[in-house]
């Protein structure tokens, strides 16, 4: 069953333009002119219950705007959104009990209080009984390995511990749909791994649906089979990660270890040489030339070992964001 349905969704922000100088200020005060920012343009997708989907895009691509529409914080300009069968912008209790929105750069825990106090307030807001709240806090704290930190004031927690406590607060009411905007932002590698592990376990234990944005590709590769890529407000890809590499990177990396050291200009006769280290070389070969190039290398040079790999996913995403414009739009 689809947990999230998005159909031809758009968001336009009207932004007042102010000309410089005193004249501009006076004009701005009496007769405002507006320009329109098309943050999200006509996007459609569906996410099934229990799926974990990565939402990728460069800065300003429209990810947060989409997540805000999905969680009902802002009203769509046009289009339809259904989350857990509800219309988000109505912000009905039944809807709010089913979702959560975590923004890596915003916090809901009260800075000077122990996290436990904020958690009790949250539990009361969601109408959880003391017993349910206690059980839920214990269960999540154990999964997050943060039991002994909940009685310390939030300001004394490390960034990683604070993020874990934020996740605990956001998941206290057992939401079925999680919107996570950069949940590992600024965390060190260990804390990132811990948050990822937790999210994966949470998804499996509760069959929760997760839509996740992250600039750390490791988050996406560890958690998401499927990714949505948004560029300048348009959805340019909806599919699995491997497909993303195939679609946007027409080249493969061919790593060869030779018996001897060959001069670089000789290697360059076979393909684009990316790097050479002693008797090892890395070539970048267009997909359609792969068979021919590999047989030439194997036939004409003395090879000890050869492997073919996809270019790193970060490079592929980087390329999409550099070259990706509305012209690259691909039907999802
Ligand atoms: N409240 C607003 N008023 C006007 N323009 C806005 C508003 N919020 C976002 N925008 C604009 O909409 C576009 C999309 O912004 P959005 O925050 O959704 O992008 P994003 O993909 O989340 O980027 P980032 O990765 O930097 O967070 C940007 O051009 C941004 O400047």
Atom of ligand 1 nearest to the CA of 230: 21
**CATH of range 50-245; options 3.30.565.10, 3.40.50.300, 3.30.2420.10, 3.40.50.150:** 3.40.50.300
Q: Name the residue among 236, 238, 274 with its Cα closest to residue 253.
A: 274
Q: Can you list the residues of the chain whose pLDDT is less than 50?
A: 325-332
The tokens of 61 are what?
Answer: 């691509």
Ligand 1 atom 6, closest CA: 13
Residue 256 has phi, psi (to 5 degrees) of -125, 135
Question: In the numeric block, which tokens belong to residue 255?
Answer: 């790593």
The residue whose C-alpha atom lies closest to atom 30 belonging to ligand 1 is 60
Give the CA distances from residue 115 to residues 110, 197, 267, in Å, rounded to whole numbers and listed in that order: 7, 21, 60
Closest-lying ligand 1 atom to the alpha carbon of residue 64: 22
The CA-atom distances, in angstroms, between 24 and each of 13, 15, 36, 40, 138 are: 21, 15, 19, 30, 58
d(CA 212, ligand 1 centre) in Å: 16
Ligand 1 atom at minimal distance to the Cα of residue 62: 18
The residue contributing the CA closest to ligand 1 atom 28 is 60
What residue spans in the chain does CATH classification 3.40.50.300 cover?
50-245
Q: Say how many Å lie between the CA of residue 78 and the centre of ligand 1.
A: 17
Distance 66 CA to ligand 1 centre (A): 10
Enumerate the CATH 3.30.70 domain ranges in the chain, comma separated: 251-309
What separation in Å is there between the alpha carbon of 31 and the centre of ligand 1? 25
Candidate of 14, 38, 39 to mutate for ligand 1, largest count of ligand atoms within 8 Å of Cβ: 39
Q: Model-level pTM? A: 0.82
Helix (H), strand (E), coil (C) string for the chain: CEEEEEEEEEEEEEEEECCCHHHHHHHHHHCCEEEEEEEEEEEEEEEECCCEEEEECCCCCCHHHHHHHHCCCCCCCEEEEEECCECHHHCCHHHHCCEEEEECCCCCCCCCCEHHHHHHHHHHHCCCCHHHHHHHHHHHHHHHCCHHHCCCEHHHCCHHHHHHHHHHHHHCCCCCEEEEECCCCCCCHHHHHHHHHHHHHHHHHHCCEEEEECCCHHHHHHHCCEEEEEECCEEEEEEEHHHHHHHHCCEEEEEEEECCCCCHHHHCCCCEEEEEECCEEEEEEEHHHHHHHHHHHHHHCCEEEEEEECCCHHHHHHHHHHHCCHHHCCCC
* Interval between CA 244 and ligand 1 midpoint (Å): 24
- Examine the predicted complex and report whether its ipTM is higher than 0.85: yes
Regarding the beta carbon of 89 and ligand 1, being less than 6 Å apart is answered no
Assigned CATH for 251-309: 3.30.70
The model's pLDDT over 54-67, given as tens digits with 9 standing for 90+, comes to: 999 888 899 999 99
Handedness of CA 192, 218, 169, 131 (dihedral sign): negative
Note the pLDDT of residue 244. 84
So what's the pLDDT on residue 323? 60
Q: Is the CB of 212 under 6 A from ligand 1?
A: no
Model pLDDT for residues 131-174, shown as the tens digit of each residue: 999 999 999 999 999 999 999 999 999 988 999 999 999 999 99
Residue 27 is predicted with a pLDDT of 75
């Amino acid at each position: 069953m689809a947990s999230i349905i998005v159909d031809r969704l758009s968001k336009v922000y009207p932004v007042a333009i102010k000309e410089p100088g005193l004249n501009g200020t006076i004009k701005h005060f009496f007769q405002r002119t507006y320009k329109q920012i098309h943050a999200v343009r006509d996007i459609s997708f569906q996410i099934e219950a229990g799926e974990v989907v990565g939402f990728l895009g460069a800065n300003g691509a429209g990810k947060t705007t989409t997540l805000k529409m999905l969680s009902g914080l802002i009203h769509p300009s046009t289009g339809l959104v259904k989350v857990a069968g509800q219309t988000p912008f109505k912000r009905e209790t039944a809807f709010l009990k089913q979702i959560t929105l975590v923004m890596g750069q915003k916090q809901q825990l009260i800075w000077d209080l122990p996290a436990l106090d904020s958690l009790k307030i949250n539990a009361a807001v969601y109408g959880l009984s003391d017993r349910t709240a206690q059980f839920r806090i214990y269960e999540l704290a154990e999964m997050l390995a943060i039991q002994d930190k909940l009685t310390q004031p939030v300001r004394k927690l490390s960034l990683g511990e604070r993020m874990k406590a934020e996740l605990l607060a956001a998941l206290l009411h057992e939401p079925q749909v999680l919107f996570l905007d950069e949940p590992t932002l600024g965390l060190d590698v260990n804390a990132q791994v811990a948050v990822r592990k937790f999210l994966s376990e949470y998804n499996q234990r509760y069959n929760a649906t997760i839509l996740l944005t992250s600039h750390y590709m490791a988050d996406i590769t560890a958690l998401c089979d499927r990714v949505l890529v948004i560029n300048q407000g348009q959805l340019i890809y909806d599919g699995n990660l491997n497909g993303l590499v195939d679609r946007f990177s027409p080249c493969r990396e061919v790593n060869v270890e030779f018996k001897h050291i060959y001069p670089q200009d000789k290697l360059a006769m076979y393909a684009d040489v990316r790097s050479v280290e002693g008797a090892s070389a890395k070539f970048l070969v267009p997909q359609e030339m792969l068979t021919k190039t590999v047989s030439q290398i194997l036939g004409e040079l003395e090879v000890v070992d050869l492997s073919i790999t996809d270019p790193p996913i970060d490079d592929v995403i980087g390329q999409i964001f550099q070259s990706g414009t509305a012209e690259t739009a691909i039907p999802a």
